[in-house]
Structure 1
Amino acid sequence: MTQDEALNILKTGANVFLTGEPGSGKTHTVNEYVKYLHSYNIDPAITASTGIAATHIGGMTIHSWSGIGIKNKLDKYDLDKIAGSEHISKRLRRTKILIIDEVSMLSAETLSMVDAVCREVKQNSEPFGGLQVVFVGDFFQLPPIVRVGRSEDRQGLLIESPVARFACDSTAWEKARPIVCYLTEQHRQDDDIFLSILSAIRSNDFDEEHMGHIEKRKIAHSSAPKGVPKLFSHNADVDRVNDDTLLKIENEERVFEMSSQGAPALVTALIKGCLSPERLALKVGASVMFTKNNMRDGFVNGTLGTVVGFSRTSGQPLVKTRNGMTIEVAPLEWVVEENGVVRARIVQVPLRLAWAITVHKSQGMSLDEAVMDLSQVFEFGQGYVALSRVRRLSGLHLLGWNARTFQVHPEILAKDESFRFLSDEASNGFEKISKEEILKMHNNFIAACDGEFVGVSKKENEIFGNSKLRKKSKISTYDETLALIKEGGDLKDISKKRGLTESTIISHVEKLHEEKKISSKDIEKMISGKTIKVIPEIKKEFKKNDDGKLTPVFEKFKGKYSFEDLRLVRMLS
């Protein structure tokens, strides 16, 4: 599938899995889609599974965005706390489109938690609370890190721990039913031999001929070119290179020590999970990477920069990031919280040295050259990710490798064949839809997102053959729904005629009811038959809960009545 085909599908508002080989243009396609949405004053939530990936697309981690943080399980207390956070709930309620990059590194369990949070906060039973979800990534690349051997009490959890490891095997993914858009163009590698090597690894056809090309790229440590980024599979190798390079800088060294407080076992776990070291040594000229998200101060986990000085007043490091911003980096804290009580905390300057990086941290990067030691690769996809960071074979400098370097996950080999087939089906299916109908789908989705129709772009006119710019009032989408309501249509009928989800139609109903354009009788006509009979009982339950939340009422009736019906009854209360 081409990027233009994928963009056409994305613009319809369908849930999408955007995938393809490294360099196929996944990030570019996402950026083009975001640019398109911005042209209609629509702000999608741009997230990623890791901090470093989030920096590539100008977003934040899905963990931060959803409020789940480092949790690996959710109970009712956790969900209520997240939904009760004004900052998080406001963020999720105004979101219409959720983009998750590097989805291969997101576990099935984490994706299920995000789905639960979205449904709870938006009070919508549809997958991800009715959001358009765009999964972006390549499952041949690094898989998620899944904790094993946990023995915590699973009683009372809202999310069952899935047996599945990959996000694409989760129930949340299955219910979202994303259209697969498998990009087949290549925009990173311009070397046919190197492309054939990467394709052979991907299809499990790596042979002696390919190995012959790889062996020609082997170098001795002493021959490694200077100033070229070094990629390693283990943190220990990265630490050695960073420490040695820092030692060679003659400027004064400043040391920042980590402080801690709380239960020893929890403190130890925090230190182990923190990317900043207990003892952080810095000098002017040191290459560094931020290790924590702080959007307010202009950095996220993975932001790269250089130490340019130290504050005369506070003594804190001054870091100039790659985009030219200079930040005074103050210490931040990492905490373990249980039932609303902080059990342990550590405090450190959120930085680490960055002359060398792990393969995990390199995912999503595009390099002219790189020095790699892949002799200790231990994870499927790790070698493939490292090799595919480089644009051409001549930029590859290998210190060593092992057999796992050229292997990909056997489960993913089978899934890839399925993804390609589903993508071809989607492409063929959209070819049968007229250009006018596709444009109508695009406009319907913009209307559903409350976008501002300021006209159709020049490129869109070229694609669809429109000779005139069309202007459309932002309120017209509500008027269209209003007309169908007055005709006496039920929710499913109106949703089908408008080409919008039931959740979106109810949002229109809520606005029209607030503006007193529809009556209680109009709303009652939209409620399903089995729910109409118990409207008085449902209204009583809403009166008991002043906050108007749907979940307590939904649970009271043991899920017998849909969230959509409950939203309609709530307007009658």
Structure 2
Amino acid sequence: RSNTDVVYIPTGPKKNQTRRLKMKHVLDSMHEDDEDIYAPIIVDKYAKKPDQLNGMCLAEFASTYKHTNVDDIDPESVESYTAPVSGHVNVPCSSIIIKLKDEMGKMRKRNKPCVPRWHSVSELKDPEGHYLRLLQLYLPWRNEEELLLSKPYKNTYEEYQHEIELNRQVYEPYADIDYADLEDNANLTSSSDSDEEDYSFMNPSLLECTEDVDDIPNTPSSVPYRRADLSLPTNVFYDMCASLNDEQRELLNYVLLWCHYSLWPQRDIENNSFHIFLTGGAGVGKSHLTIAIAEYCKRTLKYAGQNLDQPSVCITASTGKAASEIGGTTLHSAFRLPVKSKSLHLKDSELQRLRNKYKFLKVAIIDEISMINNKVLAMLDKRLQLLFENDSDFGGISILAVGDLLQLPPVCPPDIFADPTGTTYSTLAGSLWKRLFKLVELTKIVRQASDPQFAQILSRIREGNQTEEDQDVLMALNNKEISSWTQGCVKLFLTNHLAGIENSKALGNLASQKIVVRCKDSRRDQQTGVCDIDVPESSSIYQTANLPHEVVLCVGARFMLTVNLDVEDKLINGSLGTIMHLQISDQYPLNGIIFIKFDDPNAGNSLKNNRLPEHLRDCVPIKSKALEFDFRPKSGRYVSMVRRQYPGILAHAITIHKSQGSTYEYMVADMNNNVEGKKGKSGVKMGQAYTALSRCKTLEGLALRNFDMSKVKVNKPALKEMERLRNHGKLQFVHPLQEGNGNSFSLLNIRSWALHIDHFLLDPNFLQKCFIFCFTETHEVESRRDINCFNGDWTAIHKATAHGLAFCYNQHKITILQEYDMQGIEAMAFHVMYQGNLDFIIMLVYRMPGAVHNFVDILRDQMGCLPKDKRIILLGDFNLDQRNESNIALFSELQREFSLSQRSNSTTQIDGGILDLVFDNQSSTQVSFMPTVFSDHC
């Protein structure tokens, strides 16, 4: 039963709309030639709505208002438009009445909106009918005849798509679901999970959890809440982590452990917030590592009650360009830091909004930290203390600062590491930077890995140690001939003025027609539904979701994406290409397509079409995007805006400042500083020449203009600060395996041998410090990728149980003396010899989640065949949480019989649970753990 009314809305062409004749006495009084024989329906009344409702769509109007007190229509007829559901309860009428135009009558606002219904039209079978229905229901209109004439309806829909979809989401929240995908997903699930496992969810007698929840010591604030708000596809994230070098992986491992302890604190382990400075020269992979860390934090730090707009990690940067490179926003925008004003005051409403947004924040990432001064860092400290009502440094939030102090310095001094001046308490407390931040320095160059000579030159230039030979190599690049370059190149300049001149010149040299496309901005006003705010043309694209106000398009022009369209398909912010064809109409310029041939031949492969003309088959079709951003008018609060525009800019030339963080195959760096701009001549700043040179991957792809060695300037105070950090401020982290004596073995629920064995082995700590690996849930019937393919010193024994087990060992350290046959249980057992002088029994077990039944009894029976005079190590994923007293009691008799002690005392699963257990009858050594990115077990 329901107390909510339902109203039917006729849609489609007028001739197909269901209508009712007027009452008999009304028809009798009419002239026989009068064709107006139908009673007005909700569509007619909507067309006569008062002007103050111009921004309201038909669906909202029909669900909000109902007819009242009409002279020529019987009340019985009015109610026929609204069919009450069984159990309807009358409520007092609303006092809000509207008067329709042309004497159509009056309507009363409902106390409670009703549910609108309509005839659905298949997009596949009748696309025009489908889009007409969307226009009629969700696009505000006044004259239905004009709407019906706006063919093709799909073009009109695309013109107003954002506004339509905002309204549609209210009444059709699941409109975007692809039911074919759901069916595929169901088929995939049914093929990967056994019926036996699924049955336990429907049969109460098989449910394991019969004890009180209170028995489990749980931290309310740390109950994980899983949701799919990830910015990277899982396979891309795994590949990104797999590509990390040893230096990068060390910091990732630190963050993995910190996140685990943050979710599941241990009594004897201190896990305070961290303050890390991740640095290194250009091209060492700082941004690559930062994205991997941010993604892991987003996947892991989940809390009960957390919404999609309440991040646990906030990704920011000093500039909009840097922020867009890592998928973040500017530091000032994220935390509403003042740009010019010294006051940190916030209105109560804004303060409350920020507190709600960052309620679950644990980590703040700041990229290009070299361009932030010490005053901004101090403001961030105070802002976070205010938001979290916590006097700890940065309000208790962990900070990962990323950048290179030897590249571009702050526009407004002093440097971030400078001691504060004045007589305030902050001055007396000293430098936040020097007191808190610990150094992690990457030294292995990735960008110029294919050109070691260039990499070494850049390393020396960065710190002002260039040799005469280095100078000769660079000077030889000055005025280098580039006509032989087959690919397009980008030109870097010191100023926007010079970059603009070059772009205009390059565009003027192209004979093709120039098309100027302006953006379309909109704001969903709650009262009128119309846009009432103009975003200034001068606004930076980094303030407008990386979409420009205006873009000039022309065949032959160089074009750079400013938005991540598809990371997996390599269509990312910064991708460069050449416009090969334009399919854009004058009437609907934002509904067109730009065909771009990207410099990277693998970019956009999934969108390329072999049925196109031959010259377009290597091109990627790029359409306009509608993206949201927060905008603050000169007077007023931040509002949510939407801009539709093609996601890119002309890229014949850009400034060195905007190039920071980018990588180019071919580029020309023009160091001309003698041209007058709007602000006069521009001097070369410290670190600017190094920043420009290091954007290129090879010496072969680099050319210079107006260059001499006097323009290579080093930030000496920054160099001194780096020496201090290297000598006294390094982050101290020891991998858990490095703490032992090197005689270790590893246990992991690998979640699929085929998918993850290579990911596991890429961490050198395991191969260096372990002599045995035990894996559960390998899902292998027979090994297709054996471990000796990755390392010839190792071999693996697989057992094709229901979920799969694998026992791997170093052949130079371990000898298998005997393998025992295990029955009635997923297990493997071996008698092994370690380096010829230490023998022991090791038994690997997996128990799937569900009722315990006689599992422990079977385990005891199988262990009965093992020699009792040997050391026994029993380990595996038992899925019996040892935080629960009743689960602990299950093993008590087994432990007494075999003199076993359970060594796992820390949470071993990301959702909180001591599930992976190690029993031992001799050693008193405690078990340590290390999370991984590809498994939810440690």
TM-score for the superposition, normalised by structure 2: 0.40
State which of 621, 645, 663 in structure 2 corresponds to 1:366: 663
Q: 1:398 to 1:254 in 2, by over 3 A?
A: same
Q: Which residue of 2 aligns with 1:83?
A: 351
State which of 554, 570, 573 in structure 2 corresponds to 1:283: 554
Structure 1 Cα separation of the partners of residues 360 and 883 of structure 2: 18
Structure 2 Cα separation of the partners of residues 126 and 392 of structure 1: 46
1:305, distance to aligned residue in structure 2 (A): 7.5
1:417 aligned to 2:713? Answer: no
Cα-to-partner distance string for 1:435-456 (whole Å, 9 max, x where unaligned): 479xxxxxxxxxxxxxxxxxx9
Cα-to-partner distance string for 1:311-346 (whole Å, 9 max, x where unaligned): 66543375689875944257999976566379xx9x
1:212, distance to aligned residue in structure 2 (A): 1.1
Does structure 2 retain, via aligned residues, the 8 Å contact 1:289–1:354? yes
Q: 1:277 to 1:241 in 2, by over 3 A?
A: farther
1:252 aligned to 2:513? Answer: yes
Q: Which residue of 1 aligns with 2:385?
A: 119
Q: 1:198 to 1:254 in 2, by over 3 A?
A: same
Does structure 2 retain, via aligned residues, the 8 Å contact 1:318–1:329? no
Q: 1:201 to 1:238 in 2, by over 3 A?
A: same
Q: Which residue of 2 aligns with 1:568?
A: none
1:407, distance to aligned residue in structure 2 (A): 1.3
Q: Which moved more, 1:238-247 or 1:52-61?
A: 52-61
Say which SS state the counterpart of residue 182 (structure 1) adopts: strand
Q: Which moved more, 1:185-194 or 1:464-473?
A: 464-473
Q: 1:196 to 1:185 in 2, by over 3 A?
A: closer
Q: 1:5 to 1:328 in 2, by over 3 A?
A: closer
Q: Which residue of 2 aligns with 1:375?
A: 672
> How do 1:530-569 residues align onto structure 2 when only pairs under 5 Å count?
none
1:395 aligned to 2:701? Answer: yes
In structure 1, the gaps of 5 or more residues are: 147-162, 261-265, 438-455, 480-497, 500-573
Cα-to-partner distance string for 1:227-270 (whole Å, 9 max, x where unaligned): 1111111222211221122223444323357999xxxxx98986
Q: Which residue of 1 aligns with 2:636?
A: 340
1:135 aligned to 2:406? Answer: no
Structure 2 Cα separation of the partners of residues 92 and 304 of structure 1: 35
Structure 2 Cα separation of the partners of residues 385 and 359 of structure 1: 7
Structure 2 Cα separation of the partners of residues 433 and 176 of structure 1: 30
Say which SS state the counterpart of residue 394 (structure 1) adopts: coil
1:20, distance to aligned residue in structure 2 (A): 0.9
Say which SS state the counterpart of residue 93 (structure 1) adopts: coil
1:398, distance to aligned residue in structure 2 (A): 1.2
Does structure 2 retain, via aligned residues, the 8 Å contact 1:72–1:110? no
Does structure 2 retain, via aligned residues, the 8 Å contact 1:98–1:132? yes
1:23 aligned to 2:329? Answer: no
Say which SS state the counterpart of residue 589 (structure 2) adopts: coil
Q: Which residue of 2 aligns with 1:98?
A: 364
1:16, distance to aligned residue in structure 2 (A): 1.0
1:4 aligned to 2:273? Answer: no
Does structure 2 retain, via aligned residues, the 8 Å contact 1:67–1:82? no
1:284, distance to aligned residue in structure 2 (A): 5.2
Q: Which residue of 1 aligns with 2:376?
A: 110
State which of 416, 419, 428 in structure 2 corresponds to 1:166: 416
Structure 1 Cα separation of the partners of residues 691 and 366 of structure 2: 19
Does structure 2 retain, via aligned residues, the 8 Å contact 1:21–1:138? yes
Structure 1 Cα separation of the partners of residues 672 and 576 of structure 2: 26
**Structure with bigger RCO (C-alpha 8 Å, 6+ apart):** 1
What letter is aligned with 1:416? Answer: M
Q: Which moved more, 1:394-403 or 1:315-324?
A: 315-324
Say which SS state the counterpart of residue 71 (structure 1) adopts: coil
Does structure 2 retain, via aligned residues, the 8 Å contact 1:140–1:409? yes
Does structure 2 retain, via aligned residues, the 8 Å contact 1:53–1:364? yes
Structure 2 Cα separation of the partners of residues 40 and 167 of structure 1: 32
State which of 459, 475, 498 in structure 2 corresponds to 1:199: 459
Cα-to-partner distance string for 1:92-140 (whole Å, 9 max, x where unaligned): 2222122211111223233333333322222222222222211111111
Q: 1:300 to 1:49 in 2, by over 3 A?
A: farther
Does structure 2 retain, via aligned residues, the 8 Å contact 1:99–1:133? yes
Percent of aligned pairs with the same amino acid: 27
Q: 1:33 to 1:48 in 2, by over 3 A?
A: same
1:401, distance to aligned residue in structure 2 (A): 1.0
> How do 1:397-546 residues align onto structure 2 when only pairs under 5 Å count?
397-422=703-728, 425-427=730-732, 430=734, 435=739, 459=763, 465=770, 467=773
Q: 1:338 to 1:32 in 2, by over 3 A?
A: closer
Cα-to-partner distance string for 1:402-428 (whole Å, 9 max, x where unaligned): 4443111121121121222246x545x
Structure 2 Cα separation of the partners of residues 304 and 90 of structure 1: 39
Cα-to-partner distance string for 1:492-535 (whole Å, 9 max, x where unaligned): xxxxxx99xxxxxxxxxxxxxxxxxxxxxxxxxxxxxxxxxxxx
Does structure 2 retain, via aligned residues, the 8 Å contact 1:194–1:392? yes
Say which SS state the counterpart of residue 654 (structure 2) adopts: strand
Q: Which residue of 1 aligns with 2:446?
A: 187
Q: 1:430 to 1:287 in 2, by over 3 A?
A: same
Q: 1:380 to 1:204 in 2, by over 3 A?
A: same
Structure 1 Cα separation of the partners of residues 511 and 462 of structure 2: 45
What letter is aligned with 1:219? Answer: N
What letter is aligned with 1:355? Answer: H
Q: Which residue of 2 aligns with 1:527?
A: none
What letter is aligned with 2:330? Answer: T
What letter is aligned with 1:7? Answer: L
Does structure 2 retain, via aligned residues, the 8 Å contact 1:270–1:334? no
1:32, distance to aligned residue in structure 2 (A): 3.6
1:315 aligned to 2:589? Answer: yes
Q: Which residue of 2 aligns with 1:546?
A: none
Does structure 1 retain, via aligned residues, the 8 Å contact 2:517–2:589? no
Q: Which residue of 1 aligns with 2:203?
A: none
Structure 1 Cα separation of the partners of residues 366 and 573 of structure 2: 16
Q: Which residue of 2 aligns with 1:447?
A: none
Q: Which residue of 2 aligns with 1:495?
A: none
Structure 2 Cα separation of the partners of residues 364 and 196 of structure 1: 19
Q: 1:78 to 1:374 in 2, by over 3 A?
A: same
What letter is aligned with 2:286? Answer: K
Does structure 2 retain, via aligned residues, the 8 Å contact 1:48–1:101? yes
Q: 1:66 to 1:313 in 2, by over 3 A?
A: farther
Q: Which residue of 2 aligns with 1:505?
A: none
Say which SS state the counterpart of residue 53 (structure 1) adopts: helix
- Over the residues paired in the alignment, what is the CA RMSD in angstroms? 5.0
The structure richer in helix per residue is 1
Cα-to-partner distance string for 1:165-199 (whole Å, 9 max, x where unaligned): 33676778438712211112222224343233223
Q: 1:270 to 1:167 in 2, by over 3 A?
A: farther
Structure 2 Cα separation of the partners of residues 290 and 113 of structure 1: 33
Q: 1:115 to 1:291 in 2, by over 3 A?
A: farther
Q: 1:394 to 1:176 in 2, by over 3 A?
A: same
Q: Which residue of 1 aligns with 2:326?
A: 57
1:63, distance to aligned residue in structure 2 (A): 2.9
TM-score for the superposition, normalised by structure 1: 0.61
Does structure 1 retain, via aligned residues, the 8 Å contact 2:417–2:721? no
Cα-to-partner distance string for 1:539-567 (whole Å, 9 max, x where unaligned): xxxxxxxxxxxxxxxxxxxxxxxxxxxxx
1:215 aligned to 2:475? Answer: yes
Does structure 2 retain, via aligned residues, the 8 Å contact 1:233–1:358? yes
Say which SS state the counterpart of residue 346 (structure 2) adopts: helix
What letter is aligned with 1:379? Answer: K
In structure 2, the gaps of 5 or more residues are: 1-245, 259-273, 303-311, 421-425, 522-534, 608-621, 674-682, 742-758, 776-875, 886-904, 907-938
